[in-house]
Copies of this chain bind each other. A is one copy, B any other.
Amino acid sequence: MHIAFDADDTLWHNEPLFDLTQERVAELLADWVPAAELGEKLNSTERRNLRLFGYGAKGFTLALVETALEVTGAKVPGRVIQQILDAGKALIEHPVELLPGVRETIDRLAAEHPLLLITKGDLFHQESKIARSGLADRFAEIEIVSEKDEETYRRVLRRHEIDAERFVMVGNSVKSDILPVLAIGGNAVHVPYESTWELDKIDHRGAEEEGFFEAETMFEVPRVLDEIAALGWESA
């Protein structure tokens, strides 16, 4: 039984920190652009830059600067750019706050199974958050990946010699943690988070298939894993 967890918004709060950073920048630029319009422009900058920057707080900070230039016709004062950089740094060094039930559930499961952590984003920032979470030593293996698609999961499972049907991914993102895992024949437990990043939003339909399970919070995850085991995949 191989259990893997997503990190951002599964083990600890993440998306609201990005949202707060964006709100801070919206205040700084309030004379030039309404917050909603800034949000739209920022999303398109991020989408446009994704192929160059990938995911993560540094690319987000660069996108904030670029969007600030765009919405002000490059008239944004230097001191505001500096405040945007500072907001990006504050985001990166923000304390890691575990979600309810995470410590108990991870402690309990780690005592019974070798756990994997599979997270996408900025390598350096993810490692820093894992270290600061205090959970690093509960995971037998940590994989920080640039994208969570079928090919990535196939590569990770191959590397650790894990059969997909004996693999369970636990995470909040239907797009990143659930659908690609189901697609390669694995099991997935969806633990919804309070908000979802615009670029990670996806139609839920298609997830109602074999291997798909839901838990309301991390407290429920051990019970759902027991259910999965009882369905007989342990002997598959």
Interface residues of A (CB under 8 A from B): 49, 52-56, 58-59, 61-62, 65-66, 69, 72-79, 81-82, 85, 88-89, 92-93, 122-125, 127, 141, 144-146, 159
CB-CB under 8 A for A85 and B58, given A78-B72, A78-B76, A146-B127: no
Given A58-B59, A61-B62, 4 other A-B contacts at CB below 8 A?
A69-B82, A73-B78, A74-B79, A78-B81
Does the CB pair B82–A78 fall under 8 Å?
no
From known contacts A62-B61, A62-B85, A85-B66, infer whether A124 and B53 are also in contact, taking CB-CB under 8 Å.
yes
Copies of this chain, count: 2
A114 to chain B, nearest CB (A): 13
Selected from B74, B78, B144, B145, the residue in CB contact (under 8 A) with A75 is B78
Residues of B near A66 (CB, < 8 A) are 82, 85
Residues in B whose Cβ lies below 8 Å from that of A49: 89
Q: Specify which of B56, B69, B145 is in contact with A81 (CB 8 Å cutoff).
A: B69
If A65-B65, A82-B69, A146-B127 touch, whether A77 touches B77 (CB-CB below 8 Å) is no
Cα distance A227–B209 in the bound complex, in angstroms: 57
Chain B residues, Cβ within 8 Å of A125: 54
User: Contact at B65–A85, with CB atoms within 8 Å?
Assistant: yes
Contacts A58-B59, A144-B123, A146-B127 given; does A65 touch B52 at CB 8 Å: no
Decide yes or no: A58 and B53 within 8 Å by CB, A78-B75, A146-B123 being known contacts.
yes
Within the complex, what minimum Cβ distance (angstroms) separates A178 from chain B? 22
Could you say which residues of chain B place their CB within 8 Å of the CB of A75? 78
Name the B residues within 8 Å of A141 (CB-CB).
Answer: 159
